Structure 1
């Protein structure tokens, strides 16, 4: 057998092979005839694990048991190890017996795990998962046994439930680090934190303890059961230093104490530790409550780029320790090691995890594959990181399997190197080193790209001098002459005005009250901002706008880090703020949108409606359906972020005006679809489904009709939504299937109210849209939701001409397709009826005159000012002429009713021969020019009432056309 085992083993390892074989002869003897499967696996064990050889020497029957039960050759079923441990511990009568059984279980499982790992019968995920399951099982089973013993001695620790009733409390054991992430290695310490729900005392009258004392004593017993080294070894080395206040803090804390600590004193590195935290033993239900309390500390609601800064600092500390202790050959802490892969994953978890719950996971091999979709990391990079990570972890396990020792240091002696290379399947140390170094180089390169030194650390000498000069000026209280000279050199044409803005910033109480880290972040980004602002065409105005944002984010200085870490985002910010006050104002109210500036691929590449719909559904599907508040916040962020994107495309000319309005209209439609779905789900869950006819439920037989700019596909940035709600269900029927049934009309009225509530409610993120319902039948005095039959009767019998004009621009924007088709027919019937052209012209003209008097420029200012929309020759004149032509001619030309937007209606009017081509083309071009001018005014926060000498040629042409068509 010895000669057979030597085959394939390097000659210089034969002596070691033979020595370890002699150690396990008794174990092999108990197996009897050695099967081929055992022979194949023996060389790697004899070369790779003195620990396994020692355990088989101490307990010779162990190998035969593992082989005969088949446990050596298969993966455990879920819960199998827990059941086996429970049976082993059931008969324990004292602490000594408990300790012995725990260690025997650990010995057996470690031999099995190492055998399977070194022989690649198990992949990395199985090895780390089984180690973690073993730890969870032994901690939890030990805790349960010890808790019962403690209760017998001191009574039950009591607390009160939500109703005030006394209930027994259980400890909650948090596993941190690799234990929490299901990533334990072969010789991991386990990092634990002990917690309990609330203060109180035990119920034993003569020997009662406070809950804190009870759980502290229980925690000490648990540590002893796992950590103490006996004749049978130990179970796990236990590290409690991650608890609040570290080694000087109480061993067990109440939930209130935990929450207060992390809220008031939690440090950045503790956030990283909590990313992987998990309840590993004790009361799982109470543990979930605890994590609910701690989650805001770990995952910030905003995009938190300070994670890069903190991880960089932690990595620098590790690097210093590596150099100090000569640990450059450490596969965990050294360059390109395991820790760098973990930092990459954690960085994006902490930056974006508060907003994207997919990243709120613990396991690295689940986080990394999400990064292409979540943050745009190339898939090739992720694949390389995962491949390198697995090889590094396999190497780590090979190092630890040798002697069951917590080490990640590569061996420096020849025999140690030869053993490791053999176990890793390489020909020799040189081949192993070449492969390992290749993985480490790739990890280092990717780490440098993700968590590279801040630009200020790599900056050019010129940038460094700029920053140094700025800091000197700031520290010198921004003295006029040198500060103005500095700003003049940067490109400011009015340095005194710019300097005053900076002084105003410095004098703000918020700036003065900033903690040191906030001051440092502000000072790091300001010189870069000033340099970029000075290069714009309007530096003083741009500075004013950019400082609006700076003031808005001072209390959340992580946003300053975002700009400092992303020079491209900073340049985009300055460029877009230079072009648009609206853009700067939006960012100052919603600074979380700064994240949108990072990736120009999404910033300047707006999606179509299908992609918008898909993106929103992916966002909403990750939120519990009953969490309306979170759904509303998600809708608002989605809307604001896409408004920002379309504005960026608009400002830079990447999108023409018509496409801007298309995008904004699609955005509103997608949001309305989602809002209707949420409102319908909420209402039907409570009241059941309304019935279209007896026994036939609605589906939902409800539509939202858009009027005005929404109906006309001409939404702008500040547009409200003119809406009308229509249903087609029997008004005499009731809902069915809910906790409380309602009459159909009441149900649909409440549905409409719910939609308006979701759209219009002011939340911390603002509102979705302001809603105007005045165009519904009978206006504000009419029903909020009307039936299609009542809508038709009103339009045919009672509606004013101006209401038919409004109907020209109406279209269904959300809801039932069947009812939408029925609405389109009603609209066509109403608008397509024959009218007296002269009477129609008079009514349209009179309404237009009334609007001019009420909404246009007053007579005293006429000629001096021009209201782009309402004055003679303005936008509404064009709209009214189009509406007149449609209403007057639709009975002969039903194709005029196909579209609801003015541009395509003008095209239809031209095709019908109702206007000469050159006149129709001029009306279209002037209409687009007016709208483009209005867009620019909005973006610069300028009014749409301009001086009388502007747009004069356009106004005269439209006035002439009005006179020809409407006054002849």
Structure 2
């Protein structure tokens, strides 16, 4: 038994005879050209490869020297470095003088390298990504090299094509499909589009238009690549993806190209352009062209209509598969490669306008990002990637057998066994079992992503409400139907529906948007009917739908994702504030798709990481996108807090902690951005203190609700800005030096710009700077020395009250400690308690006179007697009166922990502290709930009477000297 025959024994019997025939043909061919037969370790991979590829076996028989060269060079066992193909092909075509010689060189190069790629793949020496990448680079290099030479030869005949100013023009070749994505399979067509920058003519002896020049050049390029010769072909070329398809010009100017996609581009062309990449010619111009087309492919808004469009495309493909009996097709059949690509590309089309990471061409990288971003579960992405890699390996083995473009599983038993063995399975049954497993996983994920809304049961009780829209059942019947389904004010609910139907928003919608709304409203009515207050909830949702009607993609989101609609109804039923928040910022509707994230606010560390992650996706120097990203981050994080809040999963104090954390994360980032804006212009601010030069730094002090860690929805920020520049030579050290005070003023102005500029995504926060030294009359930013001087010698008592709630929220730790030292020194000053009480009471009475909205029937929760402000003033009075004796009273800035401290040091009795804590929490909780319902902070006068009376009782004893013992 020969060594070759012994090697065959590891293969199933039906395959041995086939390989024995190859060997019998190879022996004399190798001997004829003096090529030694492979032996030893070279023989095992040869048997494996020949068993999987007749193409490789026939190539070895036809040209044994080629196999000998590949073996001796080490190319079969070594991956190529980037650029290796281009360098090798350049050497091979260096001496070609005409198209005939170029065609021969390209075909021989292609045969050698395809044999090498197939060998490494089948022998298990290369992973899938290397194989697909090598095939793509081989095609790209062949196109680019051929184009360069053809362009030069054609320029000799007609002259160089130029624009109106005579600047040279080059053809731009866009690779589409798997070539564009760097994922070309073994025997694929290459999809190309030809374009050129602008109209003009050649500058030579025989003048022709640029259009004619590039049309001829494109024809010659296609011929040299695709025309079969004695040496075969290089790559089959498909030009049908160009504008207007086969009916369109072969090469098109950039202007006409852009006009086509703007006015005629269809959904499937958006899908196709995801993969577009300039692979040859003027690559710089090609990059500009693709950038111009980016808004066509990736919409700035979240384009949920992409799900429906791709679902429609898949349905058409499925019909064609059934019609042509293609269920064995691993690309287009059920659970095939196309379904995996559609899943990834649907998310790209929906989110790519806002998430640049999704604008990449590799489906595997796209799937990775969908897992990282939480848009698909890790388990789903893992199963999709495993299926994709399995199916692409099957695809390559099907095509590597005879170098033919096929995606159909074989029906012949021998071919089935051959494929199974090439995929490392012992038989067809084992292979088929694994194929079925992957296909079912893909089908499951495809159904979850593209399943859409379930069709309502025509006999179901809920479907009776569907007759209300878009039909017109008559007022009496409609109201009776609404009443039967729990609408407490059926006449009002019917009027709301009629107002929407007859209103401008509905009547002016384009047909697609109206169809989407007509499909959505029956689902809305059914979902709203199950809510606690259907009429009020319907009113909120209809207003939201009217606000987003012109962007019907949001209607598509809710129609295609019933669970998102369910969460929307839940949130709108719980809070008018949330419904208006979503109506103002409909981008947030995207968050309804992932309830696991929607109801789980981030902690402070997570907030900072997520903000950095989102900002990292913003293109450099895109200030508008940066503003919008900051604002969307804020709106999305606040929505998360509100959703968790109304779900009952979060106590009031924790809600404020989260809202405060969001504000602090954004303030720190805005300070960082402002530094990066101002620093390059003027250089760092420096100063010389006691002869030692150093950089000056900056800090943000938070007062009020932010300082007290008690932010509510919609709270503004009370801020004071401080810098530590001092001593001599207080100037910046850049090319345009300015004094440090001016530098920090510009820094603050830039921060306020980042915080308050209103865009389509709203603003970040309203900023109040009136608590700075000297108020509106003072400088916008002060030095620490000036701040300390003002607080010690000029500040009013009410300003020291405010200082009790102040803390540093952004800036170096050293400045935070310095601020605390100043704050302690000011607040620990010993004060006359009688004078202090008089001043605090006078300020409280003045505030009450100016701000209290209470009446005989209405109580103002904030400013009314016995309300929030009374509690805060009492706490601040006691802090100022006692901090010189108990410095630890100054550790915290929030009211509850300050009350705890006053109780711990016996400044407040246990009873007083308990009454104030209970009242403060209860009143704040009411304010909080009213905010979520978009109501003023007022309640009927007979509500919360016990809490108010307790606060008034404590006020009288502490602030008015009433020592009488009062019992509840």
TM-score when normalising by structure 1: 0.95
C-alpha deviation, 1:197, in angstroms: 2.5
Tell me if structure 1 keeps the 8 A contact 2:53–2:401.
yes
Q: How does 1:332-411 map to 2 (within 5 A)?
A: 332-411=331-410
Which residue is 2:556 aligned to? Answer: 561
Which residue is 1:928 aligned to? Answer: 921
Instruction: Tell me which moved more, 187-196 or 296-305.
Output: 296-305
Tell me if structure 1 keeps the 8 A contact 2:576–2:932.
yes
Whole-angstrom CA distance in 1 between matches of 2:282 and 2:309: 33
State yes or no: 1:833 paired with 2:835: no
State yes or no: 1:13 paired with 2:11: no
Whole-angstrom CA distance in 2 between matches of 1:779 and 1:543: 46
Q: How does 1:367-766 map to 2 (within 5 A)?
A: 367-452=366-451, 454-457=452-455, 459-462=456-459, 466-467=462-463, 473-477=468-472, 479-624=474-619, 626-693=621-688, 701-730=697-726, 732-733=728-729, 738-766=734-762
State yes or no: 1:102 paired with 2:106: yes
Q: Deviations over 1:553-603 (max 9, x none)?
A: 222222122222322221111111112111000000101101222222222
Which residue is 1:22 aligned to? Answer: 24
Q: How does 1:789-800 map to 2 (within 5 A)?
A: 789-800=785-796
Whole-angstrom CA distance in 2 between matches of 1:890 and 1:599: 49
Tell me if structure 2 keeps the 8 A contact 1:244–1:261.
yes
C-alpha deviation, 1:348, in angstroms: 2.4
Whole-angstrom CA distance in 2 between matches of 1:696 and 1:750: 26
Tell me if structure 2 keeps the 8 A contact 1:536–1:575.
yes
Whole-angstrom CA distance in 1 between matches of 2:570 and 2:699: 42
3-state SS in 2 of match to 1:704: strand
Which residue is 1:41 aligned to? Answer: 45
Whole-angstrom CA distance in 2 between matches of 1:210 and 1:772: 64
Which residue is 1:324 aligned to? Answer: 323
Which residue is 2:782 aligned to? Answer: 786
Instruction: Tell me which moved more, 757-766 or 945-954.
Output: 945-954
Which residue is 2:54 aligned to? Answer: 50
Q: Deviations over 1:475-511 (max 9, x none)?
A: 5445323332332333212222111111111223332
C-alpha deviation, 1:796, in angstroms: 0.8
C-alpha deviation, 1:399, in angstroms: 1.1
C-alpha deviation, 1:44, in angstroms: 3.2
Whole-angstrom CA distance in 2 between matches of 1:732 and 1:216: 71
Whole-angstrom CA distance in 2 between matches of 1:472 and 1:537: 22
Query: Any stretches of 5+ residues in structure 1 without a counterpart?
Result: none
Whole-angstrom CA distance in 2 between matches of 1:99 and 1:478: 73
Whole-angstrom CA distance in 2 between matches of 1:961 and 1:876: 13
C-alpha deviation, 1:885, in angstroms: 1.0
Whole-angstrom CA distance in 2 between matches of 1:218 and 1:484: 71
C-alpha deviation, 1:699, in angstroms: 6.7
Which residue is 2:942 aligned to? Answer: 949
Which residue is 1:916 aligned to? Answer: 909
Whole-angstrom CA distance in 1 between matches of 2:184 and 2:606: 41
C-alpha deviation, 1:339, in angstroms: 1.6
Tell me if structure 2 keeps the 8 A contact 1:709–1:715.
yes
C-alpha deviation, 1:726, in angstroms: 0.3
Which residue is 1:32 aligned to? Answer: 36
State yes or no: 1:59 paired with 2:63: yes
Q: Deviations over 1:186-207 (max 9, x none)?
A: 1011111122223333334x53
Whole-angstrom CA distance in 2 between matches of 1:570 and 1:692: 59
3-state SS in 1 of match to 2:345: helix
State yes or no: 1:223 paired with 2:222: yes
Tell me if structure 2 keeps the 8 A contact 1:455–1:564.
yes
Whole-angstrom CA distance in 1 between matches of 2:593 and 2:422: 45
C-alpha deviation, 1:698, in angstroms: 6.4
- Structure 1 segments of 4 or more deviating over 4 A? 459-463, 469-473, 694-700, 734-737
Instruction: Tell me which moved more, 844-853 or 715-724.
Output: 844-853
Which residue is 1:244 aligned to? Answer: 243
Tell me if structure 2 keeps the 8 A contact 1:28–1:64.
no
C-alpha deviation, 1:931, in angstroms: 0.9
Aligned length: 956
Whole-angstrom CA distance in 2 between matches of 1:950 and 1:811: 35
Instruction: Tell me which moved more, 276-285 or 16-25.
Output: 16-25
- Please provide the CA RMSD for this pair: 2.2
Whole-angstrom CA distance in 1 between matches of 2:318 and 2:789: 79
Q: Deviations over 1:403-458 (max 9, x none)?
A: 11100111111222232223222222223222322322232233323333x2324x
Instruction: Tell me which moved more, 179-188 or 62-71.
Output: 62-71
Whole-angstrom CA distance in 1 between matches of 2:21 and 2:700: 83
Tell me if structure 2 keeps the 8 A contact 1:473–1:482.
no
Q: Deviations over 1:34-84 (max 9, x none)?
A: 232431122234333222233334434211121121112211121111011
Tell me if structure 1 keeps the 8 A contact 2:22–2:61.
no
Which residue is 1:768 aligned to? Answer: 764
Which residue is 2:840 aligned to? Answer: 844
Q: How does 1:67-216 map to 2 (within 5 A)?
A: 67-159=71-163, 167-204=167-204, 207-216=206-215
C-alpha deviation, 1:154, in angstroms: 2.7
Given the superposition, is the C-alpha separation of residues 549 and 917 from structure 1 closer, same or farther in structure 2, using an over 3 Å criterion?
Answer: same
Tell me if structure 2 keeps the 8 A contact 1:23–1:54.
no
Query: Any stretches of 5+ residues in structure 2 without a counterpart?
Result: 962-968
3-state SS in 2 of match to 1:195: strand
